[in-house]
Amino acid sequence: MLEFDPSADIQALRSTFGEIKAVVDVDALHAEIARLSEEAGAPDLWDDVEKAQKVTSALSHRQAELKRVTEVEQRLDDLDAARHVLAEADRLGLDLPGVTDTLVLEGVASFTTAFDDLLGAIAKKQPAAA
């Protein structure tokens, strides 16, 4: 059973993110990146080194800003997807904490066995202490 419902928190984050996107003006940012990309692709760009540096720097900064916005949006989408997966697991009666505990115990046991085998193999290869 899900004990924590982050729906209200996620909705608040989405609302705040919507306001941020409006301020950033993602459509204008895309247009600016397209314009700067076109300028950066001009064959004579580097004829004026100072201008070329300004164009490529501005392009890099705009692309980084768009990447940050896109990544935050993807994380919000991932939160929604994770909530749905957890809700479906709960609906199906899956004991996720129990499954996790079992996987950890089995993983530790498997590692311990492999580690002990490795130590044994190393010990066999070492010359006996006199």
pLDDT digit string, tens, across residues 27-66:
999 999 999 999 999 999 999 999 999 999 999 999 999 9
Residue pLDDT, tens place only, 60-107: 999 999 999 999 999 999 988 988 888 898 899 988 888 889 999 999
Check if the beta carbon of residue 16 is closer than 8 Å to that of residue 22.
no
Check if the beta carbon of residue 65 is closer than 8 Å to that of residue 28.
no
Q: Which of 52, 32, 49, 54 is nearest to 41 (CA)?
A: 52
Q: What is the pLDDT of residue 2?
A: 52
Burial of 55 (0-12, 13-18, 19+ CB in 10 A): buried
Check if the beta carbon of residue 41 is closer than 8 Å to that of residue 56.
no
